[in-house]
Structure 1
Amino acid sequence: MRKRTTAAAIGLLMTGATVFATGSANSHGYTESPISRQKLCANGTVKNCGSIQWEPQSVEGLKGFPAAGPADGAICAGGNGRFSELDDPRGGAWPATKVNSGSFTFSWRFTARHRATDFKYFITKQGWDPNSKVTRASLDSQPFLTVPYGGVQPPETLSHTGTLPSRSGKHVIVAVWTVYDTPNAFYSCSDVQF
């Protein structure tokens, strides 16, 4: 019995050390409003999503977007090849949240509440082709909303209200949660229909 308890304690310590060393755990956060591609996969609305359906909260990549971070065409997956299904435009068939230009409330759900530097929201340019992958060239160069967070840990759910720019047709919003004390950020792409 004592050997089993010791082995279990060592296993827990090693797991904790791994999480501490990498600055990462197996779960983190994603946008719920407008609903993100990873949430659509997790709730079964969209099929053939690969492993993201079991871990919608794990779209983590290097921070510093748009100057750094995931490569063009891999932005929605945070540059993580395991979640490449999120970058597939699916012929423009991702379900889209109906929105209007003007005031909109963005909502996040967190499963591991890392301290946050900020939250930034980017949108595709007018004339963007929904049949193409999201690249820096397809996005406005500046976020339309930046919410500084000053290294504070967010609650389990968090909302920001901002102003959606004038657009028509289908677009993608790229939400970026920059983690304060790791080299990473979390990426969440939401398809919207103006």
Structure 2
Amino acid sequence: MPAKKPTKKAARRAVATALVLGLAPLIVMSLPATPAQAHGWVTSPASRQDQCFNGSVECGPIKWEPDAVEGPKGLRSCSGGNAQFADLDDDGKGWAVHDVASSTTFTWRLTAQHSTSTWQYFVGSRKVAEFDQGGGQPPQFVRHKVDFGNISGGQKVLAVWNIADTANAFYACIDVNIR
């Protein structure tokens, strides 16, 4: 007995299904990527990732996720050990250097207010400030007044946000000239 020929309606349905299934991945890939609403970064004085975010320095995917520089606690790198953000570790990239006083306020912008243990600020290997949040949830904008003591001149400040309930921290580097 010969096989039944599909009806025109069934054939059209099969073609439409194949078309939808074939185009779906292309449609998904063409949708704009949105930054992860995840974490936070220093916006004032402008950190390296803030400069990437605002386009003043060309530096790859960090432009779209300035709040995602996350890594294990205890690191001392601007990228938080994240290879896709390695541009942040490049001291020769043309980062803006901000003239600051020996006592300067740093402002973090948080896109998710994680429970926080501490905020730390380093110049080289020296910790110059630590603020204890005691596990509390911070507001959307956090400000710390950091006293550099006798440190002066061109410096790279590493700001670290230690999360209370994970093994991770968020990292930001700010290039300054302390007057």
Could you say which TM-score interval applies, normalised by the shorter chain?
A: 0.7 to 0.9
Contact 2:37 2:111 in 1 (8 A): no
Q: How does 1:1-194 map to 2 (within 5 A)?
A: 27-47=38-58, 49-63=59-73, 65=74, 69=75, 75-90=77-92, 93-101=94-102, 103-124=103-124, 139-140=125-126, 143-194=127-178
User: Which amino acid is the alignment partner of residue 178 of structure 1?
Assistant: N
Once the two structures are TM-superposed, the CA of residue 169 in structure 1 deviates from its matched residue by 2.7
Alpha-carbon distance in 2 for matches of 1:110, 1:80: 19
Cα deviations by residue, 1:58-79 (Å, 9 ceiling, x for unpaired): 000001x2xxx36xxxx00000
Alpha-carbon distance in 2 for matches of 1:180, 1:156: 17
Higher normalized contact order (CA 8 Å, seq sep 6+, divided by chain length): 1
Which is higher, the Rg of structure 1 or of structure 2?
A: 2
Once the two structures are TM-superposed, the CA of residue 26 in structure 1 deviates from its matched residue by 5.1
**Unpaired runs of 5+ in structure 1?**
1-24, 125-138
**Unpaired runs of 5+ in structure 2?**
1-35
Once the two structures are TM-superposed, the CA of residue 167 in structure 1 deviates from its matched residue by 3.0
User: Which 4+ residue blocks in structure 1 deviate beyond 6 angstroms?
Assistant: none
- Identity fraction in percent: 44
- The answer for the alignment partner of 2:13 in structure 1 is none
TM-score, normalisation: structure 1:
0.70
Coordinate RMSD, CA, aligned = 1.5
Aligned residues: 143
Alpha-carbon distance in 1 for matches of 2:129, 2:152: 19
3-state SS of 1:159 partner: strand
Cα deviations by residue, 1:17-52 (Å, 9 ceiling, x for unpaired): xxxxxxxx75200111221100000001111x0100
User: Which amino acid is the alignment partner of residue 58 of structure 1?
Assistant: A
3-state SS of 1:144 partner: strand
TM-score, normalisation: structure 2:
0.75
Alpha-carbon distance in 1 for matches of 2:37, 2:54: 18
Once the two structures are TM-superposed, the CA of residue 96 in structure 1 deviates from its matched residue by 0.9
Cα deviations by residue, 1:133-161 (Å, 9 ceiling, x for unpaired): xxxxxx22xx1110000111111001111
